[in-house]
Structure 1
């Protein structure tokens, strides 16, 4: 059995704990982290926009001018992903594979689970009440498009049943 555990900042401990509790001992566990390119791309774009601007005569460019901040953002993201995956592997406490991917997060998660038998992911939206808003956009996409069974967990205790949305009005 191949189990993919989607590791995301803030919700990963609940996913790792669910995998420990529900994946068979002989399961091949993959800890998956996906770094979106949107922040680094924005930094690259902002920097590229600044290159077209002249400097007031007689002034030297600020220190570091000429160094694209998007590259630094990419390095920081890689370091953060590595730290998260290391912490998740330690919490799991059993053999696993760590995978870091980059791109559109939701699409990379779906692609990474193509041959999986189970995906463990956490709710990442409004976690104060039950219902569809408890899933953020990326998680909603994954839930709607993943081709394997899902184990969807709450990162903290689930809200009370009194938070259920009201039933739709009766049409008829």
Structure 2
């Protein structure tokens, strides 16, 4: 069994805990972190557009890429320690939602946490990237709450025609 646990800043402990609770010890676990191109790309573009291209050594995008890689490595290290068993670590960069789906190809399970509105039950508890991953994953998905789930009273009432 091959399990991919998609780790995101702020919600990764819930994914690791779900793997510990629901995945057999014999499974191959891959801890996945995906860095989007947004912030370094914006910095590269702003530097090129506003400050010119004459001094690439001063491009802030390169520094942001390096900082992002260190953050991902630290998160993966902390997650591996929390998991407490052998695992692989995978870092990807690109369109986050598409990289997650690609990483799940050939997997038996994808574990991810809700990343949207978490104060009530419903579809808004998934942000765009998580929604895409859930809708397009080529394997079963275990979707976890990063904290205790809200109560059933948070479900909105049915539309009038369905009451």
TM-score, length-scaled by structure 1: 0.90
Which residue does 1:159 correspond to in 2? 150
1:122 paired to 2:113:
yes
1:108 to 91, 99, 110: 99
Which residue does 1:22 correspond to in 2? 22
1:68: Cα distance to partner? 0.5
| SS of match in other structure, 2:160 | coil
Backbone CA RMSD of aligned residues: 1.5
- The one-character-per-residue Cα deviations of 1:2-47 (angstroms, maximum 9, x if unpaired) are 0000010000000000000000110000000000001110000000
1:168: Cα distance to partner? 2.8
Q: Which runs of 5+ in 1 are unaligned?
A: 54-63
4+ runs of 1 displaced by more than 4 Å? Answer: none
1:111: Cα distance to partner? 0.2
What is the rounded CA distance, in whole Å, between the counterparts of 1:150 and 1:20 in structure 2? 15
Which residue does 1:6 correspond to in 2? 6
What is the rounded CA distance, in whole Å, between the counterparts of 2:156 and 2:27 in structure 1? 37
TM-score, length-scaled by structure 2: 0.95
1:52: Cα distance to partner? 4.0
Which one has a bigger Cα radius of gyration? 1
What is the aligned length?
161
| SS of match in other structure, 1:170 | helix
Which residue does 1:68 correspond to in 2? 59
1:50 paired to 2:50:
yes
Going by fraction, where is helix more abundant, 1 or 2?
2
| SS of match in other structure, 1:10 | coil
What is the rounded CA distance, in whole Å, between the counterparts of 1:146 and 1:114 in structure 2? 8
| SS of match in other structure, 1:3 | strand
What is the rounded CA distance, in whole Å, between the counterparts of 2:19 and 2:33 in structure 1? 15
